[in-house]
Amino acid sequence: MKSLGILGALVLALSSTQLSEAHGSSSYPRAIRPKLAGGQKFTVYDTPIALSVGSNAINPAVPVDTKNKVEIIGTAIIDKLSSENNIPPSNIRVTSAYADTGSGITHIYLVQTVDGKDITNSVANVNVDASNHIISLSHSFAPAGSLVSAAKVDSTSLESSDTAKDALSILATHIGISLTKVELEAATHTTVNNIISGQPQLVVEGLPTAFAIDGTAKVNTEYIQQSDGSVVPVWRVVVEQKDHWWNAHIDVSNQKVISLSDWYAQSESYFVYAKDTLSPADGSRKMVVDPAYASASPKEWVSDDTTSGNNVWAQSNPFGSSTWKTNHRPTAQSGGVFNYTIDFTKAPKTYIDAAITQLFYSNNIMHDLSFIYGFDEAAGNFQDENYSGEGVGGDYVVAFAQDGGGTNNANFATPPDGENPRMRMYIWTQTRPNRDGDLEQDIVAHEFTHGISNRLTGGPANTDCLNDGEAGGMGEGWSDAVANILRLKSTDTSHTDFILGDYVYNKSIRKYPYSTSLTTNPSTYSFLDSPEYEEVHDIGEVWAEMLYEVMWALINKNGFAKDIFAHDLTKGNSIMLQILLDGMKLQPCNPTFIDARDAIIQAENNLTGGKNKCAIWTAFAKRGLGVNAPRPEEGSHTDDHTVPSGC
């Protein structure tokens, strides 16, 4: 019988089928803002531009105090932005300006106005060097013509208490907090002038504390530029709650929230088997707070309050279907906390929320780790939004926890860059109660690594390079090898043996443990000629065993990085992961063992200048892949233990 994934046969390469997408079901408020068509381009001048007031260039040595100098520069900037963008100077206001004492650069921040009110997202910043030259500039001003319609709106009426209360009611509905008519009517209000802008602002008091922690909300009118460049009047509402401090802009004409930001930095916490814990057999769960790596996931992992984000969407899938958007996902408790119970005396389905949380966590860990080692946007990784603009976005991992489509296995399907891959994790039935593959890190790491090797070998647009034979077998082998690198602990030595799938299967899912002992694991290149070694997982076991030898050779020579995420390329385990991924990028489509070995050696040569060349050759040669090992087209996989001369 042929099965899929970690145990059975091959990894699927999906055709480019597009699945229809339903809308997500979360009610949690996401930050929103109009995406301006013109963006906010940042211009850096190679030759700084002299500033002038009227027709007079500003004297580089303005002999006045700093405050005065900042004011003069501010006026000059307003004149420049005004004439360049055809906006009257009276419609541009400096919001902040200061001369930085360290760099000597003066920073001027501005906003465009209508009727004396700010267009909240039409802003500029200009940087001026110590000799009064503009060194860089950016703005998102609305085009001149778009202001005409906005100027016609009578904004004074918007400051009445009734309309202000309308605005509160719309925001409450949007963020899912009850605020009744009666509660609103009971609230009182006063008018004050905003400390910074000087513009009138209504302070509404006596609101229920679920909506406003101190009972008050501030409302005023402003304008906002929409994505098409048009400018519309909005209510701005600022209200603080226990875990949020909202700054909302509500469109007056259609009564919708069109911009929303939260001044609280949202934290994310997961109660999980952390990345240094292999499975429930290896330790207990703990709370990890904000585990995202900023270089890989600058906006963290969660986009709203459930297990979906830029890198991964994790959900249940009891019927093994292929759609995911409307599937069940757990909702975080207040403060972004994902903490769900597990009772191991019961069936896995009783702890599905903990399983989904774990799967979401482990996939994101794999995303960040592989990103740090070069499986990034340009290299075709899995992300909805690719922040660099390189590669193709729209392809976060769709990960199904406790998928009902199978048992005793797991699999990963890798379509080309730009299409969502699928990870399916099954329940394992060897034990009573059954066990859940979502909770075993080496299973998830194995599956995710299929995505890495498929996208990197032959380029991100081609995921048909590791389908069968030696290439397909190495696909399985790299997946075990990366799982082995991730699970390393500082107490492990080259005498430690690793068993894959130990927790879910209650024994190894491979023939032999990974070991540097030829007795414990006798695998060598010539095993590939045995009829028992035609299936990809069997071939993969030989490759992963060779890589296990290389890994320990590198650690023994270079030492061990306690934290693989620190990317310390002087340490053996970090070098190993780096040259595995670099080798995948270098090697040809449908590589043989020999091709892949040569790519790893080339990658190491590039990384360190060949410091570890002999250590790597010695490790491969120990398992029969020495310099004279024949290529498969030469007829056999005879073991060769020769190392290059000089080693």
The nearer residue to ligand NAG, 160 or 334, going by C-beta atoms, is 334
Choosing from 66, 334, 490, 506, the residue that interacts with ligand NAG (CB under 6 A) is 506
Closer by beta carbon to Ca ion, 49 or else 392: 392
Does position 417 bind Ca ion by CB under 5 A? Answer: yes
Q: Which is nearer to Zn ion, 460 or 477 (CB)?
A: 477
Q: In the range 368-397, which residues lie near ligand NAG by CB under 6 A?
A: 385-387, 389, 392-393
Nearest-5° Cα angle at 544, 542 to 547: 115
Give the number of other Cβ atoms within 10 Å of residue 519's Cβ: 6
CA distance 235 to 208: 20
Q: Cα–Cα distance between 227 and 229 in angstroms, integer?
A: 5
Q: For the CB of residue 379, give the shortest distance to Ca ion in the complex, in Å.
A: 9
Q: How far is the CB of 491 from ligand NAG (least distance, A)?
A: 24
Q: Choose the contact partner of 287 out of ligand NAG, Ca ion, Zn ion, none; CB within 5 to 8 A by kind.
A: ligand NAG
Regarding 431 and contact with ligand NAG (CB under 6 A), the answer is: yes
Asked if 271 and 257 touch (Cβ cutoff 8 Å), the reply is: no
Question: What one-letter code names the amino acid at 355?
Answer: A
Tokens found for residue 198:
């000087």
Please tell me which residue in 183, 268, 419, 447 is annotated as part of the active site: 447
Name the residue type at position 389. Answer: G
| Partner whose binding site includes residue 501, from Zn ion, Ca ion, ligand NAG, none (CB under 5 to 8 Å by kind) | none
For ligand NAG (CB under 6 A), the number of binding residues is 14
Closest contact distance (angstroms) between CB of 390 and Ca ion is 9
- Picked from ligand NAG, Zn ion, Ca ion, none, the partner binding residue 341 (CB below 5 to 8 A depending on kind) is ligand NAG
Q: Which residues are paired to 259 by β-bridges?
A: 249
**Residue nearest Ca ion (C-beta atom):** 395
Q: Is 78 a binder of Zn ion (CB under 5 A)?
A: no
450 annotated among ligand-binding-site residues: yes
**CA geometry: angle at 514 spanning 471 and 480, to 5°?**
40
Q: Which is nearer to ligand NAG, 411 or 587 (CB)?
A: 587
Residue 504 phi, psi dihedral angles, 5° rounding: -70, -35
Report whether 107 belongs to an annotated binding site: no
The residue among 108 and 581 lying less far from Zn ion, judged by its C-beta, is: 581
CB-wise, 380 or 583, nearer to Ca ion? 380
Q: Under rule CB under 5 A, how many of the chain's residues touch Ca ion?
A: 4
Q: Dig out the tokens for 344 from the structure.
A: 């191991």
CA distance 216 to 168: 11
Backbone angles phi, psi at 312, to 5 degrees: -150, 145
Structural contact between residues 279 and 439, judged by C-beta atoms closer than 8 angstroms: yes
* Rounded Cα gap, residues 309 and 288, in angstroms: 17
Handedness of CA 62, 63, 66, 72 (dihedral sign): negative
606 binds, among ligand NAG, Ca ion, Zn ion, none (CB under 5 to 8 A by kind): ligand NAG
Interatomic CA distance for residues 143 and 87, integer angstroms: 8
Part in contact with Zn ion (CB under 5 A); list of ranges 4-12, 144-152, 229-237, 239-247: 4-12
Residue 395 contact, options Zn ion, Ca ion, ligand NAG, none, Cβ 5-8 Å cut-off depending on partner type: Ca ion
Does the protein bind ligand NAG through residue 606 (CB under 6 A)? Answer: yes
376 binds Ca ion (CB under 5 A): no
**206: which DSSP letter?**
S
271 scored as a contact of ligand NAG (CB under 6 A): yes
Q: Are 71 and 53 in contact (CB under 8 A)?
A: no
Q: Which amino acid is at 152?
A: K
Is 395 near Ca ion (CB under 5 A)? yes
Instruction: Say whether 419 is catalytic.
Output: no
- Distance between CA atoms of residues 403 and 525, nearest Å: 36
Task: Give whole-number Cα distances, 285 to 277, 279, 341, 441, 629, in Å.
Answer: 8, 9, 10, 13, 46
**Encoded amino acid at 275, one letter:** K
* Ranges within 463-522 binding Zn ion (CB under 5 A): 476, 479
- Per CB under 5 A, does 6 bind Zn ion? yes
Residues 573, 488 contacting (CB under 8 angstroms): yes
Write out the binding residues for ligand NAG, residues 325-364 only, by CB under 6 A.
339, 341
Interface residues with Ca ion (CB under 5 A) are: 391-392, 395, 417
What residues act catalytically?
A: 447
Q: Please state the residue numbers annotated as binding site for Zn(2+).
A: 446, 450, 476
Binding site residues, ligand NAG, CB under 6 A? 271, 287, 339, 341, 385-387, 389, 392-393, 431, 506, 606, 609
